Chains A and B, each alone.
Chain A
Amino acid sequence: MPAYNNEPLLEMFVFETTQLLEQLEQVIIHSEQSKSFGPEEVNEIFRIMHTIKGSAAMMHFKDISTLTHKIEDLFYFIRDKEPTYIDYSTLSDIMLESIDFIKLEIKKIENGGKPDGDSLPIKEKIDKFLTFISDPNSQANKSETEEKYKKRFKTTIFFEEDCELEHIRAYTVINDLKNIVEDIYYIPDLEQSDSAEIIQKAGLQIWFTTDRPFEEIHHFLSKTIFLKHLELVELEENKNFNKYLNKTIKAQQKITDTSLEKKDFEQSTYMVSSTQNMISVHVAKLDKLMDLVGELVISEAMVTHNPDLEGLKIDNFNKAASQHRKIINELQDIAMSIRMVPLAATFQKMNRIVYDMSKKLSKEVKLKIIGEETEVDKNIIESISDPLMHLVRNAIDHGIESAEERKTKGKAEIGTIVLEAKNVGGDVLIIVKDDGRGLDKKKIFTKAKAKGLINKPESECPDQEIYSYIFLPGFSTSENVTEFSGRGVGMDVVAQNIGAIGGTVSVDSIPDQGTTITLKIPLTLAIMDGMIVKIGNASYTIPTLNIREAFKPENNDVITDPDGHEIIMIRGECYPILRLHELYKIETSTVEISDGIIVVVESEGKHLCIFVDALVGEQQVVVKVLPKYIRNFKKIRGIAGCTLLGDGSISLILDIADLIKH
């Protein structure tokens, strides 16, 4: 194999192929679930395989190109010959296995290695499958046994004139019919705006399969409210029903092209296959852009807050500076938004996980995705993918019960996992919620006690606290360590990964109803609004987001409790006081309560009163992490980072959540 060291081309191959594989995965899963590989899906699969084959061949990645070529042949056959009986489950398995193979090879390439995997075993599977579906005997046998006892019917229902809302009445008919027959197809699409008119003129046409007798179905349909006229026929055994279906029904549906399912599907893939009006940008360039914008904000402050200008009356300058500031703010907003990427792609990846696990554990689970258009910084996307996968796996493995168990509990047999993303304040919340059996409080408490993590009795521990123990390292109450989870390595790694990007994890659960895990992730902290405060000669910055109020206290507002801690009453509530000069041992002449200022801060529902000498002013600051030699030496309580002020001095930024915790 020639030494291919054309870096940009290789990167493009990896990038494009990865995107195509993700698209392909969605198509396969979606088609398998709806039990149909229609002409649109087949064409898309064909197109994707063809593209990957071409690029892989150009890069001399032989195993990938021959594998995709085989798949192309397979789908060419399916598209051309339209075999009636295809085992979709096997087909999906083969496709997913092929996707996994190529993904693995891509990973090797990405890491600078060679794609040395052997695709022969998969190619043989494909050959076998192709032989099977092209064998006329197997086609005949299968289709016979499939349709032996089930008959196909077609019914046309006309409603009384002037009954209005025919499309809703049609909806009730379909809804009732669902309980007694299978494979329902109908025209018109009830989501269409003119569906009521179509039903008035041409009636509601329904095709379905059932093994119930004609009379029973006729009797059932005759009871339709506002029924004017009913036609019911049993369709002849038609070996090419699928073809008939595709051509007549789906073709008619497509003319109007507003089928809801299709729209949902298209919407959820547009994120992954964006080709219009977009360009791909190297992340390194974006990082550089962010850095420069950050420097620009600092230098703007250095200009407008320059000590040389102090005391001068410079109205024109101030006007210009304010305009300057406005433009820089806009630039900063745009720069941050460029790096923002919707969570859609990450969420869609979970479809595959749910699909695989459902199959392997024989549990029917449905994944509901809400708010996938919510955007987060590109860096964050990378860090939450693995934790999310673990949480979803966990929910299916340990949360969702088997269908029988759910039935005895009176729950729907199909378990549901909801994956939701939303913006709240300056954070993004990602919620993984399942309707399974919930966390076992007693088990967790016992295990935590056994590990020496708790010293008080169960009655003194609030539920939330007990549930939060699952995030401690080495914690797992599963009896069996399954292939997927239970090694006690998962939850704490999730907490760590989320903590590394500045976020928090919390869990809540109701026995037998389910468990909800919430990830709270701050949007880029790089630039934020802060209130500069003075203590002695030192300057500190309090994030404006955390400030609730500030005021000048009186000496007798403050009470000292038996342990010697100072507290203050505000509107009937007690808040603890933190003297920053004591915490950080700063020399200052302001020690009397009435000489300084109290800043009331809040984080996650808890409040704290910080005592400072004076407020200096509000400013936009660029957060910089503390220098390595300080970070490595000792973890300093309550400091999130530092920033450079306009006059060139350094201000330490307070970590409110950390201060409150202690």
Chain B
Amino acid sequence: MKKVLIVDDAAFMRMSLKSMLERNGFEVVGEAENGEVGVHKYKLCHPDLVTMDITMPKMDGIQALKEIKAYDRNARVIMVSALGQEVFIKEAIKLGAKYFIVKPFKEEHVIKVLNQIK
């Protein structure tokens, strides 16, 4: 079972993503409400995948991505973006994010992406 860390500042998003993932055979090993906590929890849990929201207080998704990649070159981080954040997605890809999913989530898209990232 693939282990996932969910990083998003909205409790509702974390909750809905968590139930979606657990329904489809993933194990959610941790949640973080901002980039800083996200990096910290990554170092603790070493998940197989990270879903990373972009706009968060304290430390945003791009910065957290940088720090996680600096810590673990092979980290698999999937950016979670809202409409209109294309510039950030591109920047994240350049910085080593594996792929992206867009809010509002289409369950089959999310699952397809998380299954295909190796």
Interface residues of A (CB under 8 A from B): 163-165, 167-168, 171-172, 175, 223, 225-226
Contacts and interface: CB of A to CB of B under 8 A. Distances in A.
B116 A165 contact: no
Given A168-B90, A171-B90, A171-B93, A225 B99 contact: yes
A165 B88 CA distance: 13
B65 interface: no
A192 to B, nearest CB: 13
A148 to B, nearest CB: 33
A172 B93 contact: yes
Contacts of A226: 109, 112
B102 A164 contact: yes
B94 A175 contact: yes
Contacts, number: 25
Nearest to A176: B93
Interface of B: 86, 89-90, 93-94, 99-100, 102, 109, 112-113, 116-117
23 contacts: A163-B109, A164-B102, A165-B86, A165-B102, A167-B86, A168-B86, A168-B89, A168-B90, A168-B100, A171-B89, A171-B90, A171-B93, A172-B93, A172-B99, A172-B100, A175-B94, A223-B116, A225-B99, A225-B112, A225-B113, A225-B116, A225-B117, A226-B109
Contacts of A225: 99, 112-113, 116-117
Contacts of B109: 163, 226
Contacts of B102: 164-165
Contacts of A175: 93-94
Contacts of B117: 225
Contacts of A164: 102
Contacts of B86: 165, 167-168
Nearest to B97: A172
B106 to A, nearest CB: 9
Nearest to B94: A175
A167 B86 CA distance: 9
Nearest to A196: B86
Contacts of A165: 86, 102
B82 to A, nearest CB: 12
Contacts of A171: 89-90, 93
B90 to A, nearest CB: 6
A171 to B, nearest CB: 6
Nearest to B70: A410
A44 to B, nearest CB: 31
B58 to A, nearest CB: 24
Contacts of A223: 116
A167 B89 CA distance: 11
A205 to B, nearest CB: 20
A223 B113 CA distance: 11
B14 to A, nearest CB: 23
B87 to A, nearest CB: 10
A603 B70 CA distance: 40
